[in-house]
A and B are shown apart, each in its own frame.
Chain A
Amino acid sequence: MTAPRVLLVEDESLVALAMEDMLADLGCEVVASFAALGPALAWFAGGASGLDGALLDVNLGGELVFPLAEALEAHGVPFVFATAYSALPEARFPEALVVRKPVDPGALGEAVSAFGRT
């Protein structure tokens, strides 16, 4: 089985480094990693094919990641939210998987286990 190709969006550099490591440890290949919504949206709109999943921080320096989640959903790409909030700031994506920060690698592993299986 080839490694699932994963997009990471996380605005805190330190946290992003750890998430990249955790994803790699879980057998994922982080094909793109962004700190802000704009570049991530542009990258995805530019024809990011073969993406198996995405790990999305919810609040990106005051901007919500939801527009990207919508784009991913429209293309059938599964995603998992990572957030330090105890509840998502908006009641959207009620079905979405959410992992809490600080992220437990076990919980993250479970959340991303569906990536690349569809």
Chain B
Amino acid sequence: MTLAAEPDEPDALFTLVETVEDLSAARTIDQVAAVIRSSARRISGADGVAFVLRDGDACWYLDEDAIGPLWKGRRFPLTACVSGWAMLNGQTAVIPDIYADDRVPHDAYRPTFVKSLVMTPVRRSDPIAAIGAYWSVERRPSEAEIRKLEVMARATAAALENARMYASLNETLERRKFLLRELDHRCKNTLASVQSIADQTLRAANSPDAFVEAFNGRLGALSRAHELLTREGWGRADLRQVLEAALAAFGGVDGERVQVSGPPVDLSPETSVAMHMAVHELVVNAARHGALGHPDGRVEVSWRVDMAAPDRRLEFVWRERGGPAPSRQAPAGFGTRLLERALGRELGGEGRLFRDAEGVRYVLNAPLSTRLALT
């Protein structure tokens, strides 16, 4: 059995292996930096080490362990420091005499003990960090010293990648928790909306059959309003899409019986549901008593934004023509409240329903806001 010629070699190798193990167990960038700080000096035998992260166009000296202060916490342009050179070139910089090498910003080194250094990038292709080893004397490091630093840099690259994956996994889990809470919130809000529809429908219904018919129609409208929002990732919905969805069960927007025109206007989720429910009331009324129940009936829906007005306002008009004249019935009860009261309240504007000789006319006038915006 032979013993190693140099007694400190196995120790240094064990330290390197243990460091690689520690790096593989690191879960955050701070833990990676702590491993480097506590072992890089022992492995390299240097007088100081620094762990540098790439931060956009800067090198960020995150952590260090040295006989005298280096640059911990400071940031330098990538083009004005050796770690930047190593990261931009994807190569290890070996500098036996820093004052004889013009890659070194000499002014930054004068206050330090450093006379020679090795700087190796972490992740050769597209480097994300660098590890520097510094000596207080001019010296050319051995091949073994350089290789040990490079091995550590490779393990560090994997560790940083792990840390990123853990961070992203945690973010995903947090996001999932948040979404579940939001889903619960939305479910209960939807139940509250259904409760409201049931209440209001019951208050106006004069028979159980009438209740069931109106309630089911409104439930369907609420469901389609949610479907549209889900399709848009529960983001904002376009006014035209809302109209198309609300009219879908009654022949849709065909350009003949029903004409729709206006600039793209997007609605907040809440407003889009309210608008959908309100238009549903207009549609049902038109189908039962107005223009959509008559072969010659027409509905023209148009909106415009008065850009010249000091507070820019939307004027939305639903106009029925050619139906039974004069239209004796406009949407009653719940419909009227939604159209005149709820939408006006929600948008800080005014909704008015008219029974013109030629048919029902509904006018909504409201200022543009986050709930109601031009796209």
> Would you list which residues of chain B between 175 and 213 have a CB under 8 Å from chain A?
181, 184-189, 191-197, 199-200, 203
Q: Could you tell me the distance between the alpha carbons of A71 and B343 in the complex, rounded to whole angstroms?
A: 27
Do the beta carbons of A101 and B189 come within 8 Å of each other? yes
Is B360 interfacial (CB-CB < 8 Å)?
A: no
Q: Could you tell me the distance between the alpha carbons of A18 and B337 in the complex, rounded to whole angstroms?
A: 11
Is A16 interfacial (CB-CB < 8 Å)?
A: yes
Contact for A12 among B270, B341, B348, B370, CB less than 8 A: B270
Q: How many A-B residue pairs have CB under 8 A?
A: 88
Is A94 interfacial (CB-CB < 8 Å)?
A: no
A35 surroundings in chain B (CB, below 8 A): 270, 345-348
Is A61 interfacial (CB-CB < 8 Å)?
A: yes
Q: Could you tell me the distance between the alpha carbons of A21 and B200 in the complex, rounded to whole angstroms?
A: 9
- Distance from A23 Cβ to chain B, minimum over Cβ atoms (Å): 13
B222 surroundings in chain A (CB, below 8 A): 14
- Closest partner residue, chain B, to A39 (CB atom): B348
Q: Could you tell me the distance between the alpha carbons of A36 and B197 in the complex, rounded to whole angstroms?
A: 22
Is B129 interfacial (CB-CB < 8 Å)?
A: no
B192 surroundings in chain A (CB, below 8 A): 12, 14-15, 18, 84, 101-103
Residue among B277, B343, B346, B348 having the largest count of chain A Cβ atoms under 10 Å: B346
Do the beta carbons of B188 and A101 come within 8 Å of each other? yes
Is A48 interfacial (CB-CB < 8 Å)?
A: no
A18 surroundings in chain B (CB, below 8 A): 192, 195-196, 199-200
| Overall SS of chain B's interface | helix
Do the beta carbons of B203 and A13 come within 8 Å of each other? no
Is A17 interfacial (CB-CB < 8 Å)?
A: yes
Q: Could you tell me the distance between the alpha carbons of A34 and B369 in the complex, rounded to whole angstroms?
A: 15
B273 surroundings in chain A (CB, below 8 A): 12-14
- Distance from A13 Cβ to chain B, minimum over Cβ atoms (Å): 4
Is A11 interfacial (CB-CB < 8 Å)?
A: yes
| Chain A interface size, under 10 / 10 to 19 / 20 to 34 / 35 or more | 20 to 34
Is B16 interfacial (CB-CB < 8 Å)?
A: no
B75 surroundings in chain A (CB, below 8 A): none
| Chain B interface size, under 10 / 10 to 19 / 20 to 34 / 35 or more | 35 or more
A103 surroundings in chain B (CB, below 8 A): 192, 195
Do the beta carbons of A61 and B371 come within 8 Å of each other? yes
- Distance from B341 Cβ to chain A, minimum over Cβ atoms (Å): 7
Is B28 interfacial (CB-CB < 8 Å)?
A: no
- Closest partner residue, chain A, to B191 (CB atom): A102
A2 surroundings in chain B (CB, below 8 A): none
Do the beta carbons of B345 and A12 come within 8 Å of each other? no
Is B338 interfacial (CB-CB < 8 Å)?
A: yes
Do the beta carbons of A14 and B345 come within 8 Å of each other? no
Q: Could you tell me the distance between the alpha carbons of A33 and B334 in the complex, rounded to whole angstroms?
A: 17
A14 surroundings in chain B (CB, below 8 A): 192-193, 196-197, 222, 273-274, 277, 338, 342
Is B268 interfacial (CB-CB < 8 Å)?
A: yes
- Closest partner residue, chain B, to A12 (CB atom): B270
Do the beta carbons of B371 and A100 come within 8 Å of each other? no
Do the beta carbons of A15 and B345 come within 8 Å of each other? no
Do the beta carbons of B270 and A86 come within 8 Å of each other? no
Known: A12-B192, A59-B185, A102-B195. A21 touches B203 (CB 8 A): yes
Known: A21-B200, A102-B195. A16 touches B189 (CB 8 A): no
Known: A21-B203, A35-B345, A35-B346. A12 touches B189 (CB 8 A): yes
Do the beta carbons of A84 and B189 come within 8 Å of each other? yes
Q: Could you tell me the distance between the alpha carbons of A106 and B273 in the complex, rounded to whole angstroms?
A: 27
Q: Could you tell me the distance between the alpha carbons of A85 and B185 in the complex, rounded to whole angstroms?
A: 5
B338 surroundings in chain A (CB, below 8 A): 13-14, 17
CB-CB nearest 3 A-B residue pairs: A18-B196, A84-B188, A13-B342
Interface residues of A (CB under 8 A from B): 11-18, 21, 33-36, 39, 59, 61, 84-86, 100-103
Q: Can you list 6 A-B contacts with CB-CB less than 8 angstroms, sorted by A residue number?
A: A12-B270, A14-B222, A16-B345, A17-B341, A18-B192, A86-B184
